Amino acid sequence: MRFRKSTHAVYKTEYHVVWTPRYRRNLFSQKSVKAYAEKIINNLEGLEDDIEIIKVNIRSDHIHMIIIIPPRVSVARVVQYIKTQSSRKLKSKYSFMQKAIWGRITSYSRTTI
């Protein structure tokens, strides 16, 4: 583990983030869905260069992620961005995910952090 430097701080922040799909549904039980979700999370565009995703572990009903976020960026905003972008891409590729929650189809706007 190494320390990181910004213009006014030296930091070593690692966050262990765990999140579940709505109603803790087993959306990641298929190997192809699990592999695609991991690929999406590891290769997200729009994240700043100093935000680093160290490890992603996807279970059938939840996702664990270790991420380094600098102190100047809100953790909640980064997690919101990751969840929104991964959800949007998963729902566009796998149609069963659009109907997993009461058959609703949602659309997301594209934002960057």
The DSSP string of 42-58 is HT-SS--TT-EEEEEEE
> Does residue 110 have a pLDDT over 70?
no
Q: How confident is the model over 33-81, as pLDDT tens digits?
A: 999 999 999 999 999 998 999 999 999 999 999 999 999 999 999 999 9
> Is 86's pLDDT higher than 90?
yes
Average pLDDT, stretch 16-38?
91
pTM: 0.81
Element (DSSP H or E) covering residue 65: strand 63-68
Instruction: Determine the average pLDDT of the residues in 85-89.
Output: 92
Q: Domains in the chain, ordered, with CATH?
A: 8-98 (3.30.70.1290)
